[in-house]
Amino acid sequence: MAINWFKYAAPTNFYGLAGKLIPWFAGFSLVLFAAGMYIGFFVAPADAQQGEFYRIIFIHVPTSILSMVLYMVMAGYAALGLIFNTRLSAMMASAIAPTGALFAFISLWTGALWGKPMWGAWWVWDARLTSELILLFLYLGFISLHASIDDPRRADRASALLAIVGSVNVPIIYFSVKWWNTLHQGSTIKFSGTSMHVAMQQAMFTMLAALWLYALAVVLARVRSIILERERHTHWAQEVAA
Amino acid sequence: MLEVTKLACSRGDHRLFSGLSFRLEPGQILQVDGANGSGKTSLLRALCGFLMPDEGEISWGGISTAKMEEEFYAKILYLGHLNAIKDDLNALENLRIAAGISGCLLDEQQAVSALQRMGLRGRERLPTKVLSQGQRRRVALARLLVNQAKLWILDEPLTALDVGAVHLIETLLMEHLARQGMVIFTTHQPLQVPGLRTLSLS
Amino acid sequence: MKLLVLVIRRDLMLAMRRRADVLTTLFFFVMVVSLFPLGVGPEMDMLRKMAAGVLWVAALLSSMLSLGRLFATDYLDGTLEQMLLAPQSLSMLVLGKMIAHWMVSGLPLVLMAPVLGLQFDMSVQALGILIVGLLLGTPILSMIGAIGAALTLGLRGGGVLLSLLVLPLCIPVLIFGTGAVEAIANGQSVASHLSLLGAVLVLALVFTPWVTAQALRISME
C-alpha cells in the first residue's frame, strides 16, 4: 500500500488524519495506564531495601525518559521546519513543548516525593535531578519565547533555533552536571541488587508505553487546534469550525 | 537585470499584494506607488531579503537573490525609514562607518567632500544628536555618494528634506541612471526625473 | 577581517561615548559580590569556600545586564538593517560585535575580580585560577548571550526573557569555572577544568557567530 506522506505535510490534510488517530492513541493509553498501574501496585513485589516507596518510579522513570525524548523530537521537528520551511513541523514542535515541560515537571515532583523517604530530603543535588531541572528551564524558555513573539512565522523560526541550540547544549550540560556531581560526591540513586524483578520491568514498560501514547494523543490534539488557529482566515477552517 | 515574478507578500494574516511582476534594467528608475499600508515598504524589504515572500521569485541577472546572499548585497544600497546613524557619533564617523560596513573604506577627505555636497559643510564634526531631522536625513543620504552599488532601494528618501535637498536628490538620481544604475523607490512627494515609471500597488 | 576590526572599533568607540553604561555593569558586579557576605555572615572559612561561586554567578548576572544592548540600539536606529546587508559575511560582523561586547562588559569584570576575591580571603593561587577561568569563560557568556539577544530583539519584556533563555545554556561554563578554583583549593589538578572551558570556548567561537547571524535574520523579518 503506497501512502503519499507529503499529502500529510499540508496542515489541512493532517488535521483530518490527526482527528482519526487521537481516539485510538487515547484509548490504548488509558488501557495501558490501567494495566501498568495494576502491575505496579499489585503484582510487582516490594523492594528489599526501599520497601513500598520505590513504586513511584513507575511514574518517575517514564516521565523522565519521555521528557528527554520529547525534547529531542521537538528539536528535530524544529530543525525540519527551519530547513525545509514546512509549517507543520514548526506547529508540531510548539505542540510538543507543553507536554515535554509537564513530563519534566512530574519527573521532578515524583523525584522529590521519592527522595524524602529515601534520603530524608525533598531535594538532592543529584546529577540526574539537576539535569532534569535544567531541561525544564529549557522547555520553559522555548515556550516563553514562542509566546512573546506575535508574528507566528517569526515565533516558529526563532523558537526553532533556540530548540536546536538547546539540543546541542543538552549533552554538554548533562556531562558537566554529572561531573560537577562526582566532584561533590553527591548521592546517586542505585537500585538494590543488579536485576529488577520481572514484574517491575513490565510495569515500567507498560507505563512508558501508556505515557508515550498519551503524549501522542495530546500533541496531536494540540496541533489540531494550532492548525485551526493559524488557518482561521481560510475558507477551510471556517467550514471545519462551523 | 532585476526581475520580480508573481511576488506575494503578507503582513501577519493580511495579504498585501500578490501576482506582482516587473523588471528593472540598467538606467531605469521605478517609483512604487500606493496608499498607506499597501505594502510599499514590504516590497522594498522583500527585495533586500529581509522579508520572505509567500510566493514568487526575485532574481538578479537570472539568479535567485535568495541564493546569492552576500554577492547580491554588494550590488544594492538600501535606505529605509530609519537613518541608521548613531546619535553619539559625528556625521563624518557615521558616514565612514556606514560605508565601511557596506564594503567601501573611505578616507577622511572623501567623506568630508560627500558631506559637503549634501550641504553639511561645517557640520561634519558635530555629534548627530544636535542636527535637525532634515540634516540627519542628509547624513544618511550621503551614503548614495560614496557607494558602488548598482541598485538603489530607497524608502521615502525625501522625508524631512527641504526643497534644495529634494533638487539635489533628483540630480543624484539622474547621475546614477546615467552611470547605468538602477533605482527603485517610494515617495509621497513628486520627484522630477526623466524616464520615471511607476508601479502601482492597489 | 577589515570588517571585524571596523566593527570592534566602532562598538568600542560607541561604548566610550557612553561610559556610564559600562560602569553600571561593573558596579552591579561589585555590588552583588559585596552583598553576599552581608547575607551569609562574615565567617572567613565559609566565604573562602563560596568565593569562586559567588564571583562566577555575579559575573553571569552582570553579563546578562549588558546583553540587552548588544543589538537593541542598532535595531532601533536601523543600523542593524545595514549590517544584514553587508556584502561580507554576517557571522564575521557578529563576531566583531561579540568581541567588542566582551571587551566592554566582560574584561572589566575579569580585571575587577582579584580585588573582590581578596575580600573573600582567596589565596593567590586560587585567584590566579579564577582569573584564568574568567578569561576563558566570560567570552563564552558574551557569545551564548548574543544568540539570546538576537532572538529576543524588539520583544516586550525582552530583558527578562533573555536571561530565561540564556542562563540555562551557561551552566556548563559556571560549573567548569568554579570547578577549577575548587580543584586547586583541594590540591587537585586544574588542567581538566580549564581545558574543558577552553574546548567550550572554541566550540562557541566556531558556532555561535553563525547561529546569531541566523537569529538576527529571523528577528529582522
A95 within a domain of the structure (yes/no): yes
Q: State the pLDDT at residue A86.
A: 83
Sign (positive/negative) of CA torsion B7, C75, B73, B28? Answer: positive
Q: How many whole angstroms separate alpha carbon A57 and alpha carbon A55? A: 5
**pLDDT value at residue A186:** 45
**Closest Cα to residue C62, out of C97, C100, C22, C96?**
C22
Q: B103 vs C86: CB contact, 8 Å cut-off?
A: yes
- Specify whether the CB–CB gap between B182 and B150 falls below 8 A: yes
Distance (Å, whole) CA C113 – CA C126:
12
Q: At A149, which CATH number?
A: 1.20.120
Picking from B69, B71, B101, B139 by the largest number of C CB atoms within 10 A of its own CB, the best residue to mutate is B101
In a domain, A194, yes or no: no
Q: Say what the pLDDT of residue A7 is.
A: 63
Instruction: Specify the pLDDT at position A77.
Output: 94
Which pLDDT does position A188 carry in this prediction? 47
Q: What is the DSSP string of chain A?
A: ----GGGGGSHHHHHHHHHHHHHHHHHHHHHHHHHHHHIIIIISPPBTTTBTGGGGHHHHHHHHHHHHHHHHHHHHHHHHHHHH--HHHHHHHHHHHHHHHHHHHHHHHHHHHHHHHHHS-S----HHHHHHHHHHHHHHHHHHHHHH--SHHHHHHHHHHHHHHHHHHHHHHHHHHHHHHHHTT------SSSS--HHHHHHHHHHHHHHHHHHHHHHHHHHHHHHHHHTTTSHHHHHHH-
Residue-wise pLDDT tens digits, C19-69 = 888 899 999 999 999 999 899 888 888 898 889 999 999 999 998 888 988
Residues of B in contact with C17 (CB under 8 A): 88-89
Contact B70 C2 (CB under 8 A): no
Residue A198 has pLDDT above 90, yes or no: no
Residues 66-105 of B with CB under 8 A from C: 70-71, 73-74, 76, 78, 80-89, 93, 97-98, 100-103, 105
- Across B103-116, average pLDDT: 87
> What residue type is assigned to position C158 of the chain?
G
Closest to A99 in 3D by CA, of A62, A126, A125: A62
- How confident is the model at residue C199, as a pLDDT? 93
For residue A211, is pLDDT > 80? yes
Terminal-residue alpha carbon distance, chain A? 34
B156: which DSSP letter?
S
Inter-chain CB proximity C168 and A154 less than 8 Å: no
Which of A22-26, A199-203, C91-95, C114-118 shows the lowest mean pLDDT across its residues? A199-203
pLDDT score at C198: 94
Q: Looking at residue C126, what DSSP letter applies?
A: H
Please name the member of B52, B98, B105 whose beta carbon is closest to the beta carbon of C2: B105
Mean pLDDT along residues B29-45: 90
Cα–Cα distance, C87 to C3 (Å, whole number): 10
A239 at B interface, C-beta within 8 A: no
Beta bridge mates, B64: B59
The pLDDT value recorded for residue A107 is 92
Residue B122 contacts residue B134 (beta carbons within 8 Å): no
Is residue A195 over pLDDT 60?
no
Does residue A239 carry a pLDDT above 50? Answer: yes
Q: Which of A7-11, A41-45, C115-119, C216-220 has the lowest mean pLDDT?
A: A7-11
> Complex ipTM, two decimals?
0.90
Q: Which domain holds residue A109?
A: 29-46+53-181+199-241
- Rounded to the nearest integer, the mean pLDDT of chain A is 84
The CA distances from residue C18 to A37, B124, C22, C69, in Å, are 64, 21, 7, 12
Task: Say if A132 falls within a structural domain.
Answer: yes
pLDDT bin (cut points 50, 70, 90) of residue C147 is: very high
Please tell me whether residue B99 adopts helix, strand or coil conformation.
helix
Rounded mean pLDDT, A131-139: 91
pTM attached to this predicted model: 0.90
**Identity (one letter) of the amino acid at A185?**
Q
- Residue C196: CB atoms within 10 A of its CB come to 22
Q: What is the pLDDT of residues A160-187, one digit of tens each?
A: 999 999 998 888 888 888 777 776 654 4
* Nearest-angstrom CA–CA distance, A181 and A187: 8
pLDDT band for position B34 (cuts 50, 70, 90)? confident
Comparing B201 with C170, the larger pLDDT belongs to C170
Note the pLDDT of residue A3: 56
Is residue A30 pLDDT above 50, yes or no?
yes
Query: How many domains is chain A built from?
Result: 1
> What is the model's pLDDT at position A4?
59
For residue B70, report the phi and psi dihedrals to the nearest 5 degrees.
Answer: -60, -35
pLDDT over threshold 90, residue C186: no
Residue percentage of chain B with pLDDT more than 70: 100
pLDDT at C12 over 90: yes
Residue A19 domain-assigned (yes or no): no
Structure confidence at residue A6 as a pLDDT band (50, 70, 90): low
Given an 8 Å threshold on Cβ–Cβ distance, is C172 in contact with A144?
no
Residue given cell 573611505 in the structure block: B106
Please check the confidence at residue A235 and state whether its pLDDT lies above 50. Answer: yes
Domain B2-200 is found in CATH 3.40.50.1370:
no
Contacts of A151 in chain B (CB under 8 A): 12
φ/ψ (deg, to 5) at A133: -65, -45
CB B60 within 8 A of CB B105: no
**pLDDT tens column, A88-107:** 899 999 999 999 999 999 99
DSSP-derived pairing of the beta strands B55-60 and B2-11: antiparallel
